Structure 1
Amino acid sequence: MAGLVAVLVLLTGCSQSVGGEAERIEPIPPSPSRATTTPPTTTNPAQPPQAGAPVDDVIAWIEAGDPADAAQYNVAFRDGVTTELGDDVAFRTPSSTSQCMTDSQNSDGALACLVDLADPPPRPADAYGEWKGGWVDYDGATVTVGSVHGDPGRFTAGVGPELPYGQVLEFGDYRCRADTVGLFCANYAHQSAVRFSDAGIEPFGCLRPATAPPQVGQMFSC
């Protein structure tokens, strides 16, 4: 037994040394498939986008808000009467500066807002009927400000629930976020965006000033 132990000790010593020095074992580098990578960090923009900001920045800021429950905005209220809007939505900003609604039956779900503009576009000379300088239509490819409406149109149903500051409402091709400086809405189909506020209508993305059609005060188009 003593002889067997001596042989084992001798074999162990041979495996741990080469030429009297400890054998150095080089670490095996990790394969590329196992190498760890640190994902890029992104920060949500804290401040609302300014005039002239890239549309990607505007959309990123809108998306950074807290999601609103879209099911709560399929109704409108007027004089104590609640109207179910089906697939359409209605909402207003906390300041009530902007009251918005879609109309899938007559405008393919495009967004219209009544905005309390401090300086609305003047009534065109060719306009006849009841002029509404704060009526804004936004279908993604165009924005018109000021138009003729003989009746409240879709707003006959009243106004929608309040969209709190910092919350994002998603519907159709749109996402809208309310803020103290205005209501920001983006259209994903056309990669455009608009800010609605009493100071005016601010376009982003492909929207550029364009010649307004008859009976329209101001227009932006892609």
Structure 2
Amino acid sequence: MRIAVMIAASVLVAGCSQAVDGQARLTEPARPTPSGTTRASPPTTTAPPPTSAPAPRAPVGEVVRWIEAAPPAEPGGFHTANRDGTSTDLGEGVAFTTPTGTSKCITNSRAEGALTCLVDLKDPPPRPAEVYGEWKGGWVDFPGATLDVGSAHADPGPFSDGFGVELPYGRALNFGDYRCRTDPAGLFCVNYAHQAAARFSDAGIEPFGCLRPVSPPPDIGARFSC
């Protein structure tokens, strides 16, 4: 009987550790490995969201956490486009504009809802020699697996119905495979299907995640691809 009591006491001592505040804390028992040895369980901590806009070449996970940290905007107010005082219902599509008006974005119904933006770039890609028609260096197509900057367009395309309302700073908008957040540093958007993201600002287009610069087709100014 005495031996059993001593064994029980030893188990209780092994199951507790002394914290720096002097209080006894119950610790998780070690888990056996296939070889029969024991190994302490790793801590299960979650990284807090970044407190400032992601820097260039930041990991895409950091970009996603920062975008998701913003309170969601009510999506119902972004399903219309306005042109010369006339509003057009976009159905499930969305349109929005950054507070400075630098980026105007819309989902392209002719491209399976891919995100298309007009960005007022300070230094847009120059017109390629092979391109004819009206060159728009700030036209950005972001379907997810690719990100194209600069292309020629004979008509307004998805912007024929105008532009969307302002997406305020510090708010995030969910639509399709995307989530976008506005900030004074620029517009940040992630495409969850491809784990690719981009920042749109007048200083340029910054890719994140799997997007890497590649040789563009003859009619595109610059291309990034997964």
Normalising by structure 1, report the TM-score: 0.82
Task: Specify which of 138, 141, 145 is matched with residue 142 of structure 2.
Answer: 138
Q: 1:83 to 1:36 in 2, by over 3 A?
A: farther
Relative to 1, partners in 2 of residues 1:87 and 1:64: Cα closer, same or farther, differing over 3 Å?
A: same
Distance 2:205 2:163 in 1: 20
| Cα offsets for 1:118-175 (capped at 9, x unmatched) | 0000000000111101000001100000001001111011110100001000000000
Displacement of 1:214 in angstroms is: 1.9
State the Cα distance separating 1:70 from its structure 2 match: 1.0
Describe the SS at the equivalent of 1:67: coil
* 2:131 pairs with 1:127: yes
Paired residue secondary structure (2:124): coil
Counterpart selection for 2:197 from 188, 193, 196: 193
CA deviations over 1:2-36 (Å, ceiling 9, x no partner): xxxxxxxxxxxxxxxxxxxxxxx96x95xx9xx68
- Aligned residue number for residue 120 of structure 2: 116
Distance 2:147 2:55 in 1: 18
Question: Amino acid of the residue matched to residue 105 of structure 2?
Answer: C
| Aligned CA-pair RMSD | 2.0
Q: CA deviation at 1:43?
A: 2.4
Gaps of 5+ in 1: 1-24
How many residue pairs are counted as aligned between the two chains? 194
Is the deviation greater in 205-214 or in 37-46?
Answer: 37-46
Q: TM-score, normalised on structure 2?
A: 0.81
Matched residue, 1:107? 111
Shift of 1:40: 3.7
Matches within 5 A, 1:64-79: 64-79=69-84
Q: What corresponds to 1:216 in structure 2?
A: 220
Counterpart of 1:195 in 2: which secondary structure?
strand
Q: CA deviation at 1:103?
A: 1.7
Structure 2 segments unaligned to the other structure (5+ residues): 1-7, 16-25, 29-42
Give the deviation of 1:39 after TM superposition. 7.1
Contact map agreement 2:49 2:62 (CA 8 A) in 1: no
Q: Runs in 1 of length 4+ with deviation above 2 angstroms?
A: 35-44
Q: Percent identity?
A: 59
